[in-house]
Amino acid sequence: MSTFTRIALLMGWILCAPLQVVHAQGPYQKVQPLLTASRTVLDEPLVLPDGRPMNITSTIVTIDPGEETAWHQHGVPLYAYILAGEVTIDYGDQGTRTFAPGSAFMEAMNHWHRGTNRGNVPVRILAVYIGWQGGNHVIPKP
């Protein structure tokens, strides 16, 4: 069960400049893959309590100043840790939240959201998705 508590995330983010916002056109492209695994270092399978196979995916997402992600949701739990910069996430009618370096959180799954970098330095986010076979990491808003 301790493998189930592994954390996951990848966030699409919105980045916006003081006078200009650059909107993402489709899936966000500034993602550095780190790990995709369905087995532990000792070759044990990662499984959910109901026996379904798990997939853990980790990435570093970089959001440059003045960028904004498209609206999206996550189909699997996502753990996020802000490595650098500051990101503001708009959750629509749920308001906005700003996350600074050192912030760790589980991203919303059932609310459309987008991220914005309003600062002068790139945002770097460790994103860890806790998924399963067939789970969608990022679901773009239609």
User: Which string of DSSP letters, residue by residue, matches 110-138?
Assistant: SS-BEEE--SSS-EEEEEEEEEETT--S-
Pairing of strands 78-84, 31-37: unpaired
Q: Which CATH class name applies to 22-140?
A: mainly beta
pLDDT at 132: 81
pLDDT at 100: 98
pLDDT at 6: 26
- Cα(31)–Cα(54) distance, rounded to whole angstroms? 21
- 10-residue averages of pLDDT along the chain (142 residues): 26 26 51 92 92 93 92 95 98 98 97 96 96 84 92
pLDDT at 29: 66
The answer to whether residues 12 and 123 touch, using CB atoms and an 8 Å cutoff, is no
| Confidence (pTM) | 0.78
Pairing of strands 96-99, 87-90: antiparallel
Write down the domain spans for the chain.
Answer: 22-140
